Amino acid sequence: MEDPRTADGHDDNATVTPPKTWAVGVPGVANALKYSLSQTSPRRTALTLLNMNQTKGFDCPGCAWPEPAPGMRHRNEYCENGAKHVNDEATTRRITAEFFRRYPVSELGRRSDQWLNQQGRLTVPMVKPPDADHYEPISWSGALQLIADELRGLDSPDEAVFYTSGRASNEAAFVLQLFARAFGTNNLPDCSNMCHESSGAALYETLGIGKGDVSLTDIYHADLIFVVGQNPGTNHPRMLSALEECKRRGGRMVAVNTLPEAGLMRFKHPQEPRGVIGRGTPLADQFLHIRLGGDLALFQALNLLLLEAEEAAPGTVLGRNFIDSHTSGFAEFAEHLHKTVSWPDVLAATGLTREEIEDLRDLVLRSGRIVVCWAMGLTQQKHGVPTIREVVNFLLLRGNIGKLGAGVCPVRGHSNVQGDRTMGIWEQMPQEFLDALEKEFSFTPPAAHGWDTVASIKAMLDGRAKMFLSLAGNFVRATPDSNVTEQAMRQCRLTAHISTKLNRSHAVCGRTALILPTLGRSERDIQAGGEQFVTVEDSMSEVHASYGKLEPASKHLLSEVTILSRLARRTLGDKVPVSWERFETSYETIREHISHVVPGFHDFNARVIKPGGFRLPSLVDEGIFETATGKAMFTCNEFDMLQAPEGHLILQSLRSHDQWNTVPYTLNDRYRGIHGSRHVVLVNPADLRALGLRQDDRVDLVSVWHDGVERRAEDFQVVAYPTAPGCAAAYYPETNVLVPLDSVADISNTPTSKGIVVRLEERVRRT
């Protein structure tokens, strides 16, 4: 792969200032406004922001953190980064057919992710014919016919892959999965395969639910909140308001992270006067500076300490009633921990001291109600699933499941990633869901599981997959092993992207490629049946409506639902008895079907228009666990830790403060004190000394994997940073090239983006 930064001629030298120890407040708001005004006018910025996260406005297209109940919302119920995300969509810049005449695809492939995104909104459908180097305009019907013909020409429906990113609405997601299954395949990979799949796998097995079970009320009422492997100050900023509220009521917080992230330490509330002028609220009562991948060992050691405390003072530590009536496997679990936990291993894996873990135990013993929140630091590890199972063990020990102020909280990424799953975007939906589809639509969906993201890439590589359609997202940048994935994508006969903004997946594409420009969530969606809204589900299972307010970026845009239902109709004709044409006229029709197919959605149309919508019921809250034993399951997990050979480091790839996933907005990472470049690698000063490196040295990052293939990310600037010893950090997606396609989490098949063994090869030493 040619380095995409070269064509833009910047991003080669960072200036570094000390990392911040608090998050949000005035600089945050000012920063958001600066970015917004660079994209659009003051009037449009105001219109956009005042409508975001209001009951009759649109859902923030940023993360999946929930809004407070309607009566408790601020007039400005958004964060700095939400403001940036929505104005990135609301930008007044446009990409027209002229743009594609000017830039050949080969040149677009050399441009950086940031440059591609900055060109503005896509406005007209475009096609790149086989062997051509330019996209050219095509009519909507021509574009959809090309895809339909390609699909119908396949030898098997399983040669097609339908990818979804978590920005898509419930309605679009439901139509896409219906189309794919009616066409005959379960090949429905999604961004979740790379995100919270490990959470889903662990929670399904142990609790019988694929999602979290806490609400905002639980967060407010918890006595202790764990924030593990998560950087809320950047990635879920309004979570800090909820943590602040919990602390105001006397709750405590413990942060477990490889980096001392600003948002974990102290918070200044931007919508409260004291947040603007004061020192803010201290957040973490204890900070555990853990090694990458050390959380499994940490929770095992903590659980053993709790078992020992119970033995020392029987009847005072464990939730015996809860364990006896609601769980299975306790005795085996307890025996397993007694037999296997070795303190030297725990200290080596975590990099913590025994005293720190004992202090944590004491904090736990003082806390009746506990919530554990986590994100990518846990899920994107080889042993991510066992780690989350061990978190569940921890909560079960003291009965912290299914009661007020307690529970599991995997904090979701994309605003509707949880909803997309609920709607059936999953390559392995349970048979009950497929049966319900069959009953509603009178066709038999395929039963065999489809391909997830990693399996899809492998299938494209060896020619089993020939056609790729994407509903939102940026597949070639989000996925691991960039060089390999790019080759996979180029081997497809046809690739088609339903997108709002230009990205690398449009430039690194199949022999024939299509760009299908679509409405963003902030835009008005007018159909034959009148103005439409869509619905989303947040990280806490709240389902609500989102009403677009802005004029669409172009009159040529079609909605996601329109594109998908027209494509389904063209492809399938009357092969299945589905009235696709009615879907685009009124999305109520789709919601009516959803209410018959998806559990918890009865009276969907009536309930979702109430202010704030409704919350999906959680069986766990009713004490029902749909697991193999019919109870919440304690599990026995084998100890595992990440190890790097002498002279190597373990690297995590993470987000800066100024990016949305594969899309950097600027080259800065304000809280971490990095400005002007994303090609930096953060290394602990002691490791730098041991490796004979200094701040500002230039290095290549080379990953070490047993296939012997050299994976190299070139020319990174070394930054001395307080990351846990032995653990380095660099940005995603620039370092995806280093993650081997086969380096995946056990069970969930999630790429191990937070556990890559690397060596730093020095380039030119600065004098």
Chain residues that interact with Mo ion, rule: CB under 5 A? 195, 413
DSSP alpha helices (H): ranges in 294-379? Answer: 295-312, 320-326, 330-340, 343-350, 354-365, 376-379
CA-nearest of 90, 95, 98, 147 to 120 is: 95
Segment lying near ligand SF4 (by CB under 6 A), choices 91-99, 212-220, 230-238, 495-503: 230-238
Decide if residue 472 touches ligand MGD (CB under 6 A). Answer: yes
The angle formed by the CA atoms of residues 292, 295 and 301, to the nearest 5 degrees, is 135
CB of 3 to ligand MGD, least distance (A): 17
For ligand MGD, what does the binding mask look like between residues 286 and 315, x meaning CB under 6 A? ----x-xx-x--------------------
Choose the stretch contacting ligand SF4; rule: CB under 6 A; options: 58-66, 159-167, 553-561, 745-753: 58-66
Burial code of 647-663, b = ≥16 C-beta within 10 A, e = fewer?
ebbbbbbbbbbbbbbbb
According to DSSP, residue 642 is labeled -
Q: Exposed/middle/buried for 639, CB within 10 Å: 0-12, 13-18, 19+?
A: middle
Rule CB under 6 A: choose which of 63, 182, 347, 423 binds ligand SF4.
63
For residue 651, give the nearest of 302, 380, 277 by alpha carbon. 380
Q: Computed over its alpha carbons, how large is the radius of gyration of the chain?
A: 25
- Note the maximum CA span of the chain: 76
Nearer to ligand MGD, 121 or 326 (CB): 121
- 416 binds ligand SF4, rule: CB under 6 A: no
Q: Is 262 exposed, middle or buried (0-12, 13-18, 19+ CB in 10 A)?
A: buried
- Pairing of the two strands 266-268 and 23-24: parallel
**728 Rama class: left (phi>0) / alpha (psi -120 to 50) / beta:** beta
Closest separation between CB of residue 239 and ligand SF4, Å?
Answer: 7
Q: Which stretch binds ligand MGD (CB under 6 A): 47-55, 95-103, 592-600, 655-663?
A: 655-663
| # residues near ligand MGD by CB under 6 A | 60
Closest to Mo ion by CB, 454 vs 597, is 454
Residue sitting closest to Mo ion (CB): 413
- CA pair distance 719, 563, nearest whole angstrom: 46
For 33, how many CA atoms within 13 A lie in the half-sphere containing its CB?
A: 9
Binding-site member from 305, 306, 375, 691 for ligand MGD (CB under 6 A): 375
**From CA 720, how far away is CA 728, in angstroms rounded?**
10
- Answer for which of 124, 127, 254, 259 binds ligand MGD (CB under 6 A) is 259
Q: Does 565 bind ligand MGD (CB under 6 A)?
A: no
206 binds ligand MGD (CB under 6 A): no
Helix, strand or coil, per DSSP, at residue 589: helix
Q: Please tell me whether residue 237 adopts helix, strand or coil conformation.
A: coil
What are the tokens at 344?
Answer: 């030297």
562 binds ligand MGD (CB under 6 A): no
Selected from 22, 58, 65, 451, the binder of ligand SF4 by CB under 6 A is 65
Shortest CA distance to 740 belongs to which of 763, 696, 710? 710
Label residue 724 exposed, middle or buried (CB < 10 Å: 0-12, 13-18, 19+). buried
On the 0-12 / 13-18 / 19+ scale of CB atoms within 10 A, 681 is buried
The partner in contact with residue 662, picked from ligand MGD, ligand SF4, Mo ion, none with C-beta cut-offs of 5 to 8 angstroms by kind, is ligand MGD
Does 561 bind ligand MGD (CB under 6 A)? Our answer is no
552 interacts with, out of ligand MGD, ligand SF4, Mo ion, none, CB within 5 to 8 A per kind? none
| 660 contacts ligand MGD (rule: CB under 6 A) | yes
| 764 token code pair | 């030119």
Q: Smaller CB distance to ligand MGD: residue 290 or 409?
A: 290
At its nearest, how many Å lie between ligand SF4 and the CB of residue 734?
22
Nearest Cα to Cα of residue 437 among 180, 126, 688: 180
Question: Are residues 409 and 400 in contact, defined by beta-carbon separation less than 8 angstroms?
Answer: no
Q: Check: CB of residue 262 under 8 Å from CB of residue 23.
A: yes
Q: How many residues bind ligand SF4 (CB under 6 A)?
A: 12
Give the x-and-dash track for 77-96 against ligand SF4 (CB under 6 A).
-xx-xx--x-----------
Contact string (CB under 6 A) for ligand MGD, positions 148-187, x = contact: -----------------x-x--------------------
Distance of alpha carbon 237 from alpha carbon 235, whole angstroms: 6
Q: Does the footprint of ligand MGD cover residue 258 (CB under 6 A)?
A: yes
Torsion over CA: 483, 488, 492, 494 (sign): negative
Closest distance to ligand SF4 from the beta carbon of 482 (Å) = 26
| Cα–Cα distance measured from residue 456 to residue 161, given in angstroms and rounded to the nearest whole number | 7
Identified binder of ligand SF4 from the candidate list 238, 266, 336, 389, rule CB under 6 A? 238
Residue 375 touches which of Mo ion, ligand SF4, ligand MGD, none (Cβ within 5-8 Å per kind): ligand MGD
Among 652, 703, 743, 748, binds ligand MGD (CB under 6 A): 652
> Should residue 498 be labelled a site residue for ligand MGD when binding is judged by CB under 6 A?
yes
Which residues here bind ligand SF4, judged by CB under 6 A? 60, 62-63, 65, 78-79, 81-82, 85, 236-238
Which residues here bind ligand MGD, judged by CB under 6 A? 62-63, 81, 165, 167, 191, 194-195, 228-231, 234-236, 256-259, 261, 290, 292-293, 295, 375-377, 380-381, 413-414, 471-475, 478, 498-501, 503, 518, 520-521, 560, 652-655, 659-663, 732, 736, 739, 753-754
